């Protein structure tokens, strides 16, 4: 009996998908629920598992092909798949056979990581549990390969080029950024924050916080909570544009920009006004792991009423972040640098951070933008304000 492998149902906002990678070829055996193919959309990578165990009898689209929802992409002939016992062959034959078949088992995320690094996973030996291949194994192989290539290349005069197709995610990011630049009236206002109070509070409680909640106490949760307080005071900053209408939201769904192997993604924390700082840190940690492993879902990335991006993790001193449409504002965090500042008529050294608010002037007036950013500054420089809502 044959089973058709179909593209999963895609959300309304996603028109189609691209065949990113086949893990099997015609004639290969496959086990039920084993990842058969990766589909790339403009938001996430989808893994399509085998609906049954058997033999891949047809593959209807090559890698790079564009497919629609519920379209048949492969056919599997059902049958029992039995692994050859380890002692069924002489020892001298079993080792070559194992090596030729890519001995070390690897999960989908590790195989994808190897593909992105240009490494053949079947040639690597795994160091994980029961010989499984890990991302560390792939990274080690990549580093070794790079060193070998570097030794063979001429010292000077090398002029090489490499053409790589732009990923669907990267194409979508580019499209949205150009769109917002053309449609929105973007302005950016800046301020600076004395991070000493937050740093002292974090240093005092980070160990007990992590022990109790199982999550690291970072700076982002302070910023997220300060943003929520400021959004409730200035609702226009939490609004979005829908055609000729302005939608004012009575909830705060905060998108947090996270770097991933496929590009920048902005998963959304829902109803942050009802979340504790531990909930915020835990949510961000889960999203970071999911982004790294390519496990973010459509729901994780859709919606959002306001976004935060932290270029400071990469050493950025100042930037003008671009709004994530249909939102009307985004907060940019930057690196913390010790600078001389004047406090109470005295020059002192403080850990300072520049913050930037890019906003759509079609919805938000300059007064609201400046007061919004000033509120965040006040809340972070005196964290007790967040507790007392003053």
Domain boundaries, the chain: 2-152, 169-388
**b/e burial code for range 93-130 (CB count within 10 A of at least 16 → b):** eeeeeeeeebbbebebbbbbbbbebebebeebebebee
Which class is domain 169-388?
alpha beta
Band (84; pLDDT cuts 50, 70, 90): very low
Evaluate whether 2-152 and 169-388 have a shared fold. Answer: no
What pTM value is reported for the model? Answer: 0.67
Contact between 9 and 298 under an 8 Å Cβ cutoff? The reply is no
139 is catalytic: no
Average pLDDT, the chain: 83
Region 2-152: CATH code = 2.40.50.100
Q: What is the pLDDT of residues 89-133, one digit of tens each?
A: 443 444 444 434 444 666 666 776 776 676 777 777 777 666 777
User: How high is the pLDDT of residue 87?
Assistant: 41
CA atoms of 212 and 215, how far apart (whole Å)? 8
User: Does 334 qualify as catalytic in the annotation?
Assistant: no
- Quick one: tokens of 148? 């070998």
Q: pLDDT tens across 301-342, in order?
A: 888 999 999 998 889 999 999 998 889 999 999 999 999 999
Catalytic residue among 213, 242, 365, 382: 365
Rg (CA), the chain: 26
Q: Are 255 and 332 within 8 A, CB to CB?
A: no
Please state, for a pLDDT cut of 70, what percent of the chain lies above it: 84
Residue 266 reports pLDDT greater than 80: yes
Collect all residues with Cβ–Cβ distance below 8 Å to 240 and sequence separation of at least 6. 246, 247, 249, 305, 326, 327, 328
pLDDT of residue 285: 93
CB burial of residue 312 (10 Å; 0-12, 13-18, 19+): buried
């Amino acid at each position: 009996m044959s089973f058709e492998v179909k593209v999963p149902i895609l959300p309304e906002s996603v028109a189609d998908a691209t065949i990113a990678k086949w893990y099997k070829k015609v004639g290969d055996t496959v086990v039920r629920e084993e990842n058969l193919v990766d589909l790339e959309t403009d938001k996430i990578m989808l893994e399509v598992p085998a609906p049954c165990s058997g033999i891949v009898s047809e593959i209807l689209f090559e890698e790079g092909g564009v497919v629609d929802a519920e379209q048949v992409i492969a056919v599997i002939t059902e049958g029992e798949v039995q692994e050859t016992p380890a002692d069924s062959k002489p020892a001298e034959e079993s080792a070559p056979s194992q090596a030729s078949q890519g001995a070390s088992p690897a999960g989908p995320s590790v195989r994808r990581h190897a593909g992105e690094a240009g490494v053949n996973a079947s040639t690597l030996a795994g160091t994980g549990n029961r010989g499984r291949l890990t991302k560390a194994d792939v990274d080690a192989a990549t580093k070794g390969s790079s060193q070998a290539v570097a030794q063979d290349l001429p010292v000077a005069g090398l002029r090489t080029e490499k053409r790589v197709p732009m990923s669907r995610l990267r194409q979508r990011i580019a499209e949205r950024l150009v769109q917002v630049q053309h449609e929105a009236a973007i302005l950016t206002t800046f301020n600076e924050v004395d991070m000493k109070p937050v740093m002292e509070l974090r240093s005092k409680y980070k160990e007990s916080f992590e022990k109790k909640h199982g999550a690291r106490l970072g700076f982002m949760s302070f910023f997220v909570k300060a943003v929520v307080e400021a959004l409730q005071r200035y609702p226009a900053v939490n609004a979005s544009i829908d055609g000729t209408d302005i939608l004012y939201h009575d909830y705060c769904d905060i998108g947090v920009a996270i770097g991933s192997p496929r590009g920048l993604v902005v998963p959304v924390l829902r109803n942050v006004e009802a979340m504790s700082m531990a909930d915020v840190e835990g949510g961000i940690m889960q999203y970071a792991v999911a982004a790294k492993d390519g496990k973010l879902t459509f729901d994780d990335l859709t919606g959002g009423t306001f976004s935060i991006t932290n270029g400071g993790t990469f050493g950025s001193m100042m930037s003008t972040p671009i709004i994530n449409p249909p939102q009307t504002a985004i907060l940019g965090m930057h690196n913390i640098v010790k600078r001389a500042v004047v406090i109470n008529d005295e020059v002192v050294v403080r850990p300072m951070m520049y913050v930037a608010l890019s906003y759509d002037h079609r919805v938000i007036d300059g007064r609201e933008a400046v007061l919004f950013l000033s509120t965040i500054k006040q809340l972070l420089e005196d964290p007790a304000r967040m507790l007392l809502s003053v």
